[in-house]
Structure 1
Amino acid sequence: MTPFKKAILFVHRWLGFISGLVVFIVSITGCLFCFQDEIQDALYNYRHVEVQNKPYIAPSLLKAEALKGRKGATASYIYYYGIDRPAGVLVSVPKQGLLYVYLNPYTGKIIHTESPATNFFIIVEYIHLYLLLPAKVGQMVVGVSVIVFIVLMITGIVLWWPKRKSDRKRSFTIKWGGRWRRVNYDLHNVLGFYATSIAIILAITGLSIAYDWVREGIYNAANLGKAYPEEKAVFKSDSTLIGKADTTQVIDKALLAARAGSPKAEMYLIYDDATKTGAIGVTAYAQTLHYYKSDSYSFDKYSGKLLNRTAHEQKSAGMKMNNMNYDVHVGQILGLPGKIIAFLASLICASLPVTGFIIWLGKRKKTKSKKVKTVVHRRTVRQHLPTEH
């Protein structure tokens, strides 16, 4: 092995020790989360409602129903997940925390209420993002480990890549008939190679969710450094009716306007800013539970005036890349095949720290065994050397 590869091996080994446990946890939770929508749809009846030939209940009525009997509670986010799915209101209750209140979008009847702390997949998501540590600490630990993991994947390719063309065919396949240590070695190297490109994409999109600087980097890179200041503008109310007008009905008008502007959208998210100088935002998503293609609207909270509309087609390449980030991260950008690819890549990533550790243990035992043999050999030789008189 050349001095360069020895240095790469040293870096690869010790970075693996440092990040291995976190990479394993993050990868396993990523596997579990890939199919969370499909699994929850199969397990929970409240995630589907019977389609009715009538319009949705107004968001102001859904909000009022969700807040009923919850003193001091507020609700800023309202979701219409689709014609055959419930509407959801995210409620913040003093001393109790957040609650997801699901309602029938045609009748306004509450069909399910749950705390995020009791949902298995939300707990899995928290582990994936923060390891159940305090958010800032957990995010830092996970973020650093993921960055280290990207370095590990690159150094792993450098170490594994065969020098001779004749070795490449053997290097791209797992020798299932070999001894278990050989199979383990192949599992680490061959599967690691095949998963590298997908794993790096999953890692970068994960970092983009966690860190603004990664998101900005992707945005700037996709836009080739060109600035689009209108995409970062924050729209605020300029109405003279601030503090005077009844804003209850404005949120209803905002949804109607968004539905008229994006009639083919399947899912709508309404953000009702709680501040006096804020606006009401509505995002119309092209497909239920997919977040890539969307049209964004901002309305004056007090007059209902449309402040801004940004259609998916008008967005810059950088904004589109950021919008598709979640769908890429969980694989659903390519539908079911994409989710399967993301699941398998995550599973391989989880296996790499384990197979790598086994390789290290095996080499360590070999080194000890060689040292013992050397000592025994020297003693034996000394015993048979002629003695001096």
Structure 2
Amino acid sequence: MTVKQAIGKLHLWLGLSSGLVVFIVSLTGAIFTFQDEIRDVTEPWRTVEAQASMPMLLPSRLQTAALAKHPGVAKASTWVTYFGPERSATVFFTSPAGTPTQVYLNPYTGRVLHELDLSRHFFTIVQEIHMTLLLPEAVAKWVVGGSVVIFLVLLGTGLALWWPKRKQERKQRLTIKWGSRWRRLNYDLHNVLGFYIASLAGVLALTGLFMLFPVLLDATMLVANGGRTYPQEKVVAKVDTLQAVTAAALPLPDLIYRTVRRRSPQAEMVLLGPTGTGKDPAYCWAYQRALHYYHRDEYAFHPVSGQVLQARFHAGKSNGMKLGDMNYDLHTGQILGLGGKIVAFLVSLLAASLPVTGTLLWWGRRNKKPKARAHVPAAASPRAPAASVRAGVR
């Protein structure tokens, strides 16, 4: 068995073993890519009319309005997000019954626009399938992660099998013969499209793995930093519970919101985490662009006094940490705006097609009908004497 034959066997069996998972993960990824654009069209409560002369309400006001029908939910357990001047604000919480709920409010008036049960939302289900296949998280991490690793190996072995030996074969390997028979067309769709999307599909696969296995992202960040470490970026804010502090004069979410707005005035989107029980810091993130998660400032506050315990600004982050912050936007393609999302959608869709065309390719070869052999008269046999052949012709 030659090296190329061995690579072919490896490619075949790895593809058959992981094909179904790769198909599902890639297809759901393609569907999820335009979830913001689709929801903006189908869910009118996501947008509001901007009010330049009217300030947005403080978080405590939004929490009160959102929880009016949910008296069993504590304000300190909610997540409050301001998405920008032309978008509604949201308050997220888990109800006493365990239902993940998101309430959309007009940030200028506090009017409740819509209440959404996220457990039944289409894109929530799609995202859950994409990330876990609806399996328990501990199992899904290895099933999905293992299949994505195999997919990366398949991209490498596929390129090795595709690579032409002679220059004159390159044009043939780069074009699809649309008018050919279905087996040939399927062969071209698998090999040619696989070659074209290999590099971008690899980026999507790697960024997905970084979410499943943060240790891989840490290693990549170290490489991006040229092997240099930044200890200050590893420091985690802590609350000194033995220190006597004075409670904040304002409700804690309001104090945090005002501080972040003052220190990160350019931020369009502000996300306030739960204010906790008094033992853990309260966190807040300020994003430069709404619905984009790359360029962000990060804050940690004392859960009683509201004092800033830690502030990490985007401009002061290392290249590695910036790359880590960029990971989600790279995975979804939105790092490059609408054009990037279109590319991510097409690459995900074509990646979903590879297990299908690969399986058809294997099935076609496995069930290929042998060609009927033409009957050759004995007189015409290559072993017959020449004189006998000539006699037969006469």
TM-score, L = length of structure 2: 0.90
Q: Distance between the aligned counterparts of 2:121 and 2:26, measured in 1?
A: 19
Q: Distance between the aligned counterparts of 1:54 and 1:241, measured in 2?
A: 38
Counterpart AA for 1:332: Q
Task: Determine helix, strand or coil for the equivalent of 1:23.
Answer: helix
Q: Distance between the aligned counterparts of 1:249 and 1:226, measured in 2?
A: 41
- The residue that corresponds to 1:369 in the other structure is 370
Q: After superposition, where does 1:228-267 map in structure 2 within 5 Å?
A: 228-238=230-240, 240-241=243-244, 245=247, 249-267=251-269
More deviation in 261-270 or 187-196?
A: 261-270
Q: Distance between the aligned counterparts of 1:158 and 1:58, measured in 2?
A: 58
Q: After superposition, where does 1:14-25 map in structure 2 within 5 Å?
A: 14-25=13-24
Counterpart AA for 1:303: S
Question: Sequence identity of aligned pairs in percent?
Answer: 48
Q: Distance between the aligned counterparts of 2:223 and 2:79, measured in 1?
A: 31
Counterpart AA for 1:225: G
- The residue that corresponds to 2:387 in the other structure is none
Task: Show CA shifts across 1:285-332 (max 9, x none).
Answer: 010000000111222221122222211110111111111111110101
Q: Distance between the aligned counterparts of 1:36 and 1:183, measured in 2?
A: 32
- The residue that corresponds to 1:136 in the other structure is 138
More deviation in 322-331 or 68-77?
A: 68-77
Unaligned runs of 5+ in 1: 385-389
More deviation in 157-166 or 105-114?
A: 105-114
Do 2:237 and 2:309's aligned partners in 1 also have CA atoms closer than 8 Å?
yes
Q: Distance between the aligned counterparts of 1:149 and 1:362, measured in 2?
A: 22
Q: Distance between the aligned counterparts of 1:273 and 1:201, measured in 2?
A: 36
Counterpart AA for 1:48: T
Change over 3 Å in CA distance of 1:178–1:256 after alignment to 2: same
Q: Distance between the aligned counterparts of 2:194 and 2:165, measured in 1?
A: 18
| Superposition deviation, residue 128 in structure 1 | 0.2
Change over 3 Å in CA distance of 1:66–1:348 after alignment to 2: same
Counterpart AA for 1:210: L
Task: Determine helix, strand or coil for the equivalent of 1:220.
Answer: helix
| Superposition deviation, residue 246 in structure 1 | 5.9
Change over 3 Å in CA distance of 1:45–1:170 after alignment to 2: same
In the alignment, does 2:46 pair up with 1:65? no
| Superposition deviation, residue 226 in structure 1 | 1.9
Counterpart AA for 1:51: A
What is the root-mean-square deviation in Å for CA atoms of aligned residues? 2.2
- The residue that corresponds to 1:8 in the other structure is 7
| Superposition deviation, residue 247 in structure 1 | 7.8
Q: Distance between the aligned counterparts of 2:235 and 2:103, measured in 1?
A: 31
Q: Distance between the aligned counterparts of 2:224 and 2:95, measured in 1?
A: 40
Q: Distance between the aligned counterparts of 2:123 and 2:131, measured in 1?
A: 12
Task: Show CA shifts across 1:76-130 (max 9, x none).
Answer: 3211011111111111212232211111111112111111112111110000001
Q: How many residues are aligned here? A: 376
Do 2:248 and 2:305's aligned partners in 1 also have CA atoms closer than 8 Å?
no
| Superposition deviation, residue 257 in structure 1 | 1.3
- The residue that corresponds to 2:122 in the other structure is 120
Q: After superposition, where does 1:304-383 map in structure 2 within 5 Å?
A: 304-366=306-368, 369=370
- The residue that corresponds to 2:31 in the other structure is 32
Do 2:99 and 2:119's aligned partners in 1 also have CA atoms closer than 8 Å?
no
Change over 3 Å in CA distance of 1:76–1:237 after alignment to 2: farther
TM-score, L = length of structure 1: 0.91
- The residue that corresponds to 1:387 in the other structure is none
Do 1:79 and 1:89's aligned partners in 2 also have CA atoms closer than 8 Å?
yes
Do 1:80 and 1:88's aligned partners in 2 also have CA atoms closer than 8 Å?
yes
Unaligned runs of 5+ in 2: 382-394
